[in-house]
């Protein structure tokens, strides 16, 4: 779109899918459980709401083969639409389950407070020499003791409350790393000395403790889950930890709303490595599609095309003819015409939306497409 006048540029944009900061502030983009844990690469819930309203009715079943943090699953449930999500990342599945599971909120809050208190009492006795080298490198000793203590206290819980506590300690672990305040997304090496902080415009010191984050996020987690509990319906949500190219879905589906990974952009397992290290989650990173580590060589892009096409082709087995498949993607490399053809999908409508990225090193603006497709 380089060289295009502003007037011409915006004549090509779906303005009903492009929200300004004033129209859609961050508090709305991260409403209730959508803000339970930071996650790179997710699409905003309001976009999902639009396409659920256009293509699905209460009682239908929507599928997201790249479930990520669970945005489609949460919004589907709120509208009474059944949902199935699949993801190769164990952390993503954990987060999506916590967001969408039914919770006895009063009992959950008591369990989280008890976990926090149990961890506080046990911190000084925690020995971290047995922790992985990665953990001992990225966390100050006290911070690591506090995280390990909370994780062990969480392990004493059962069922859904344990998973909620695991998400809470993961969120605290993200904030408590030895990194700068302005680089929580892509820290390359641990920071152990004072540094000039571009976020706070002063000299800051690396984080030495995790307790303050654990306290804050324990309270915030309970608050967000309580808010969504007031909106949650009885619609079912299934979260599958599997390779979407070959997964067997537990039920037929009426369509798809998804945002696939972009080629060579994000390593989704590495993004949440602290969770895998602390919680011992199963690591399936060799199965990631479009991982940053794979790059964007000709061979990598060919593998990406084949993998995304295989994912949609597999999903077609569970859908009727002419079912809607909504794909949110920035297809700057024009890979999707080939992907859709190989997957047995035809493009009904291509919508362009303007996206503001407001925080972090990725701040700025770009345009992404919403491909509204149909199964053949």
Per residue in 120-174, pLDDT (tens digit) is: 999 999 999 999 999 999 999 999 999 999 999 999 999 999 999 999 999 999 9
CB 157 within 8 A of CB 168: no
With left for phi above 0 and alpha for psi between -120 and 50, is residue 355 left, alpha or beta?
beta
The answer to whether residue 252 sits within a structural domain is yes
* Same domain membership, residue 134 and residue 62: no
Residue 98 resides in a domain: no
Rounded distance between C-alpha atoms, residue 94 and residue 96, angstroms:
6
Q: State the pLDDT confidence band at 181, using cuts at 50, 70 and 90.
A: confident
Dihedral pair phi/psi, residue 71, rounded to 5°: -60, -50
Do 158 and 258 lie in one domain? The reply is no
Asked whether residue 117 falls in the same domain as residue 208, the answer is yes
Q: Is residue 138 part of a domain?
A: yes
Q: Specify whether the CB–CB gap between 335 and 305 falls below 8 A.
A: yes
Indicate yes or no: pTM above 0.85: yes
88 with 148, same domain: the answer is no
User: In this structure, is residue 194 part of a structural domain?
Assistant: yes
Q: Are residues 310 and 257 in the same domain?
A: yes
pLDDT digits (tens, 9 = 90+) for 41-59: 888 999 999 999 999 999 9
Domain membership flag for residue 100 = no
206 and 151 co-located in one domain: yes
Give the domain extent around 17. 6-92+238-267+283-375
pLDDT recorded at residue 361: 47
Q: Alpha helices, DSSP H only, in 19-140?
A: 26-29, 45-55, 71-78, 90-100, 105-122, 133-138
Query: Residue 15 has what pLDDT?
Result: 78
- 86 and 119 share one domain: no
Say if residue 82 is in the same domain as residue 129.
no
Mean residue pLDDT of the chain comes to 93
The rounded distance, in Å, linking the Cα atoms of 201 and 215 is 26
- Determine the pLDDT at residue 11: 54
Q: How many domains does the chain have?
A: 2
- DSSP states of 323-354 as a string? -EEEEEE--TT--HHHHHHHHTEEEEEEEEEE
pLDDT tens-digit series, residues 318-374: 999 999 999 999 999 999 999 999 999 999 999 999 886 554 444 556 789 999 999
Domain annotation covers residue 153: yes
32 domain-assigned: yes
Q: What is the pLDDT of residues 283-300, one digit of tens each?
A: 999 999 999 999 999 999
* pLDDT more than 70, % of the chain: 94
Claim to verify: residue 249 and residue 354 sit in the same structural domain: yes
User: Is the CB of residue 73 less than 8 Å from the CB of residue 100?
Assistant: yes
Q: Which CATH number does the domain housing residue 15 bear?
A: 3.40.50.150
Q: Is 371 found in the same domain as 242?
A: yes
- Same domain? 249 vs 319: yes
Tokens encoding 210: 């995790």
Residues 152, 64, single domain; the answer is no
Mean pLDDT throughout 254-258? 98
Indicate the pLDDT class of residue 238, thresholds 50, 70 and 90: very high
Domain-located, residue 312: yes
What pLDDT is attached to residue 198? 84
Decide if pLDDT at 279 tops 80: yes
Residue 6 above 50 pLDDT?
A: no
Question: Residue 324 half-sphere exposure, CB side, CA atoms within 13 Å?
Answer: 18
Q: What percent of the chain has pLDDT over 90?
A: 83
- Rounded CA gap, 56 and 79, in Å? 9
Give the pLDDT of residue 364: 54
Question: Residue 24: what pLDDT?
Answer: 87
């Amino acid at each position: 779109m380089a060289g295009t006048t502003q007037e011409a540029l915006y004549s090509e944009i779906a303005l009903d899918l492009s929200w300004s900061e004033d129209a859609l502030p961050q508090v709305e983009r991260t409403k209730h459980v959508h803000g339970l844990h930071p996650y790179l690469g997710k699409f905003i819930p309001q976009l999902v709401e639009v396409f659920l309203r256009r293509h699905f009715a209460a009682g239908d079943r929507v599928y997201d083969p790249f479930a990520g943090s669970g945005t489609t699953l949460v919004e589907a449930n709120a509208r009474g639409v059944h949902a199935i999500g699949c993801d190769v990342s164990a952390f993503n599945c954990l987060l999506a389950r916590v967001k969408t599971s039914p919770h006895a909120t009063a009992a959950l809050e008591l369990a989280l407070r008890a976990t926090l208190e149990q961890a506080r009492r046990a911190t000084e006795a925690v020995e971290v020499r047995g922790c992985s080298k990665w953990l001992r490198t990225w966390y100050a000793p006290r911070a690591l003791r506090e995280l390990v203590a909370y994780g062990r206290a969480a392990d004493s819980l059962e069922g859904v409350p344990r998973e909620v506590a695991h998400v809470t300690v993961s969120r605290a672990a993200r904030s408590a790393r030895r990194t700068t305040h302005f680089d929580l997304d892509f820290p390359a090496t641990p920071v152990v000395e004072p540094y000039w902080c571009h976020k706070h415009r002063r000299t800051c010191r690396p984080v030495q403790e995790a307790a303050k984050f654990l306290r804050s996020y324990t309270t915030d987690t309970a608050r967000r889950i309580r808010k969504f509990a007031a909106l949650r319906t009885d619609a079912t949500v299934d979260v599958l930890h599997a390779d979407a190219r070959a997964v067997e879905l537990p039920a037929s589906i009426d369509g798809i709303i998804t945002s696939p990974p972009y080629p060579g952009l994000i390593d989704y397992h590495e993004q949440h490595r602290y969770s895998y290290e602390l919680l011992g989650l199963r690591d399936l990173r060799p199965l990631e599609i479009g991982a940053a580590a794979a790059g964007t060589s000709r061979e990598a892009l060919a593998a990406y095309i084949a993998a995304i096409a295989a994912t949609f082709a597999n999903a077609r087995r569970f859908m009727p003819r002419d079912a809607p498949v909504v794909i949110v993607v920035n297809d700057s490399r024009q890979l999707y015409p080939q992907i859709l053809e190989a997957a047995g999908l035809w493009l009904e409508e291509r919508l362009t939306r303007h996206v503001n990225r407001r925080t972090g090193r990725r701040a700025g603006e770009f345009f992404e497409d919403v491909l509204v497709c149909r199964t053949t």
